[in-house]
Amino acid sequence: MEWTSLLFEEISILLQEAGQPSFRAKQLTEWLYQKAILDPTKMTNFSASLKDLLQSLGTFSLLEPVKVQESDDLETWKFLWKLQDGSLLESVLICSEKRRTVCVSSQVGCPARCAFCASGKLGLKRNLTTGEIVEQVLRIENFLHEKGESVNHIVYMGMGEPLENFDAVVKSLRILTDPKLFGLSQRHITLSTVGVIEGIRKLSLESFKINLALSLHAPNQNIRKKIIPYARKYDFNELMDAVDEYREITKRDITYEYTLISGINDGVEHAEELGKLLQFKHCTVNLIPYNPVAGLKLEKPDRGNISAFRDVLDEYEIAHTCRYTKGDDIAAACGQLALQETVC
């Protein structure tokens, strides 16, 4: 049993069944989620016998810190963890003005195999447990506490396709947004999907108000299938309908992620098609100039192409941003998580 996989009510029941008074659940969750302490020996208001009991009931630490890399911009950190089965995992912390955003992984590797992404080259190793997802946030929260800061945004944009690990991801969302636990606003959480239609529809029924980002990356199905092999599983129009339904149910605007790749999807004609596709929708397009990945023969578009692409979106009055690349010097930018370190 993993302590960081449990909701507050589950923790309460477990401790009561172990003969502990009801207030112990609040004490324990304060250590875990407000103080980000995962070592019971440091929980100073617990007796030695209670600490032994807690350790006998479940596991506190699932991630072993291996390495932390800081980028040259002093705003991005990449964390390498070792899991109990020896698998490796990466998470990223991005600091921008007052935002402290944790980019969490949901799988070891990724099944999507997008053409521009290093994680997909690994293939899927396994799903993460709820506790392994939550602990990424807690460990980085502890890292920030030393600076007098806290995590205030979370994006499920690390390794893996979140909606292919649906149950564990949904439970992690419940834990991270529960006011009795981590208590983060749902509006400060974004989940990115490559386009798992059944997952999008299930998520829309979960009573969340989290933000949804669709990794679109192309204005039509033909180009999208070349970039995203997963697209071959799903009809383009049906996917767009599922995203529209999510927006209608949750009332949250959609973000469309669009990686610009030179000569493939960065032309004015592609921008025109994208403009017609998204015109009048409640959305934002996040343009991401391709981040180089070793072994992939793709190129970043030049500034002129990016500017021309953005001009077309302006003509269609589509809100858009162009993501400033952070952490590319430590392979922590979008699409670059690839477990480059090895651990013996």
Catalytic positions: 90, 334
Rounded to the nearest 5°, which phi and psi values hold at 273?
A: -65, -40
Look at residue 273 and give its three-state secondary structure. Answer: helix
Residue 147 neighbours by CB distance under 10 Å: 9
**Tokens encoding 225:** 């299938």
Residue 48 neighbours by CB distance under 10 Å: 8
Q: How far is CA 138 from CA 4, 7, 34, 188, 229, in A?
A: 9, 15, 9, 16, 33
Rounded to the nearest 5°, which phi and psi values hold at 190?
A: -125, 135
Is the CB of residue 162 less than 8 Å from the CB of residue 172? no
The answer for residues whose C-beta is within 8 angstroms of residue 250's C-beta and 6 or more apart is 204, 208, 209, 210, 212
Is the CB of residue 258 less than 8 Å from the CB of residue 216? yes
Among 62, 9, 27, smallest CA distance to 178 is for 9
Going by their DSSP bridges, the two strands 107-109 and 189-193 should be labelled as unpaired
**Tokens encoding 49:** 């016998």
Among 228, 258, 233, smallest CA distance to 321 is for 258
Look at residue 27 and give its three-state secondary structure. Answer: helix
The answer for residues whose C-beta is within 8 angstroms of residue 86's C-beta and 6 or more apart is 343
- Report the distance separating Cα 37 and Cα 305, nearest Å: 48
SS3 content of the chain, % helix, strand, coil (to 5): 40, 20, 40
AA letter at 343:
V
